[in-house]
Structure 1
Amino acid sequence: MEWWGQAISMAASIALAPLLVGLSQTTKARIQGRMGPSVFQAYRILWKTWHKETTVPQDSSWIFRLAPSVNVATMLVIVTMLPWTGKLPSSWPHNALVLFFLLAVERFWSALAGMDSAGAFGGLGASRVSTVGSGIEPALLAAFGVLWAVSGHTAIAPLAPWLRHQALGILPWILAASSYVLVLLAETGRLPVDNPDTHLELTMMHEATVLEYNGRFLAEQQMAGALKFTALIGLGWIYLGPVMSSVWANLFMRVGELAVTSMALGWAESRFVKLRYFQLPTYFAMATGVGLLAFYLVASGSVS
């Protein structure tokens, strides 16, 4: 049963990844008073982009060509590591630190691809993606400090959700969830850190690293972004959300959580304004500080 549940959940998360991006974009458009695209627009864009002619910059190397495939493969590994149904098959790899390392690998290859495009915008985007990544990583570790303090290990599947540790009080979980939401907005390139809809030279981050891509390579980058969006939302709910006793109940609950969260992020984006680039260190410090405060409350025994 665990193998079947994991296989179905992996297939569902891959198939639904573009839909979640579409839900977020449509919700954002409706909140702003626009009709917006269909929630299925992301599928049409992927299909159309995949079948277009693929060209590469004249001065680029094999790194530019390999980066999209590496990013997709990395995101697929992350998706398969997550216990979507609340349980993982025996001996299945599920260490959180490995997952965080894979996220860093994806950022590294995105930055390499941006620099290898031999364009000014690619180098600018690579620099900004690397800077944001260096601020995200300590905040990401701090956001999950509560669970590691409770469980004493870094494995994903055995980490008990909040329903099993009500004695700790609600405050540490609220702080940990708040820290992770700030990380989620930054890691997925959402406002107020980045604007995925902009193509202005002075504000582009992730978009600048894929500006020179087209055809199949661009479709792979778009799919990698959708998988990353799905995996990071799911990771937050798997760690900090409730869990059911039934494998299938967990699976359907995760699908609902993903849909609601993607729409909530679309709503939030319509309420935020983009921070100036030099204000981002303050944003990352706040995300890290909130997570560390939650960790301190649990590790010091201040809440019980």
Structure 2
Amino acid sequence: MVCALAPSCHLKSFIEGDQMLWIIQIVSVMAIIVLAPLIWGIAQKTKAHFQGRQGPSLIQPYQIFAKTWTKETFVPEGSSWIFRLNPTVNVATLIVIAASIPWAGQIPTNWPHNVLSIFFLLGLERFSVALAGLDTATTFGGLGASRIATIGSGIEPAMLAAFGVLWVVSRHTQIETVVPFFTNASPSGFLPWGLALLSYLFVVIAETGRLPVDNPDTHLELTMMHEATILEYSGRLLAQEQLAMALKFTIIIGLGWVWLGPIVPFPWVNVVLHMVEIMASAMLLAWMESRFVKLRYFHLPRYVTLGAGIGLLGSYLAMSGGLR
């Protein structure tokens, strides 16, 4: 009883709890890095299944990464340091984004986790990819960079519109502050949340380069976007690009689930459940891909505009009191 009332005991329990959150956050980031190729493999396997093919093994992304890492690296003649630095920037940026997401539903004290900073970092990764594609001075590299920049200009407003509902109800840009508002929302308040999640689904498909926006499996140069910017990469640089692609796919999906908040009051269980949700979502996206064909490039602005419009509608309903 005496210890329970002593300030030193409260401070000790706070430090111990904060240290545990640090450990959970670090382990969560490491799990994202390790499981990202597996989640990419699950999506590819599921997509092949619905298309009537056997598909690759679930561990094939790991095998490709290991094989590519051991190959010799060639750099195009005339390319600058931008081309060499881009893969490292991409992987580092995505790891920082993964570290900024509260996978356990809680975040350590003074840990940076602003949603707007996540959006800015995603823009930095997209800009780096486009810049590297232009740096090679090849036809397809410039074509892919141009298309990535064009689609990115529509993705960013759609992301802000999807996040608008969260900002309206919480008046804050930290993810975990939104959770009480979602759990305490009235039945009518789930409509704005549903619109925000639907808008974010448009963002996930476009940001990860999946059908109907882009096809990561294409071998037709004229239809490439992201793949066109990394055609000149080889060896360890290409391995880093492959890891960055899997990381981005995993993180973008996981961010949507984290917005919905922790499922149980146990941090470790939340981390595990979020990983399961990401795997299930990868399978769902693969099923959706098998049902759609790639949109023509000039139709893509309508796609991203629709996603942004749905998010703005959800924000309007939230501002009008729909979440109370």
State TM-score, norm by structure 1. 0.97
Q: Which segments of 5 or more consecutive residues in structure 1 lack a partner in the other structure?
A: none
**Matching residue within 232, 240, 243 for 2:263:** 243
Matches within 5 A, 1:148-297: 148-160=167-179, 163-167=182-186, 169-240=189-260, 243-297=263-317
Alpha-carbon separation, structure 2, partners of 1:5 and 1:105: 27
Larger CA Rg, structure 1 vs 2: 2
| 1:143/1:176 contact within 8 Å kept | yes
The residue type paired with residue 154 of structure 1 is T
Q: Greater helix percent: which structure? A: 2
Alignment: residue pair count: 304
Residue 105 of structure 1 corresponds to: 124
What are the Cα deviations for residues 128-157 of structure 1, in whole angstroms up to 9, with x where unaligned? 000010000000000111111010011123
Matches within 5 A, 1:109-148: 109-148=128-167
Alpha-carbon separation, structure 2, partners of 1:200 and 1:140: 29
1:162 to 1:22, Cα distance in 2 relative to 1, 3 A = farther
What are the Cα deviations for residues 20-46 of structure 1, in whole angstroms up to 9, with x where unaligned? 000000000001010000111100000
1:128 to 1:161, Cα distance in 2 relative to 1, 3 A = farther
The residue type paired with residue 91 of structure 1 is N
Matches within 5 A, 1:4-15: 4-15=23-34
| 2:179/2:261 contact within 8 Å kept | no
The residue type paired with residue 203 of structure 1 is T
Residue 14 of structure 2 corresponds to: none
| 1:177/1:240 contact within 8 Å kept | no
Alpha-carbon separation, structure 1, partners of 2:92 and 2:40: 19
Alpha-carbon separation, structure 1, partners of 2:322 and 2:268: 37
Secondary structure at 1:158 match in 2: helix
| 2:162/2:200 contact within 8 Å kept | yes
What are the Cα deviations for residues 226-264 of structure 1, in whole angstroms up to 9, with x where unaligned? 111111011000013553211011011101101100111
The residue type paired with residue 28 of structure 1 is K
Matches within 5 A, 1:12-27: 12-27=31-46
1:91 and 2:110 matched: yes
What are the Cα deviations for residues 31-76 of structure 1, in whole angstroms up to 9, with x where unaligned? 1010000111100000000000000101111110111101111011
| 2:32/2:98 contact within 8 Å kept | yes
| 1:147/1:160 contact within 8 Å kept | no
| 1:162/1:242 contact within 8 Å kept | no
Q: Which segments of 5 or more consecutive residues in structure 2 lack a partner in the other structure?
A: 1-19
Alpha-carbon separation, structure 2, partners of 1:298 and 1:158: 16
Alpha-carbon separation, structure 2, partners of 1:259 and 1:162: 26
Shift in Å, 1:165: 2.9
What are the Cα deviations for residues 186-206 of structure 1, in whole angstroms up to 9, with x where unaligned? 000000000000021210000
State TM-score, norm by structure 2. 0.92
1:109 to 1:233, Cα distance in 2 relative to 1, 3 A = same
**Matching residue within 297, 300, 304 for 2:320:** 300
1:27 to 1:269, Cα distance in 2 relative to 1, 3 A = same
Alpha-carbon separation, structure 1, partners of 2:155 and 2:130: 15
Identity of aligned residues (%): 60
The residue type paired with residue 235 of structure 2 is G
**Matching residue within 56, 68, 71 for 1:49:** 68
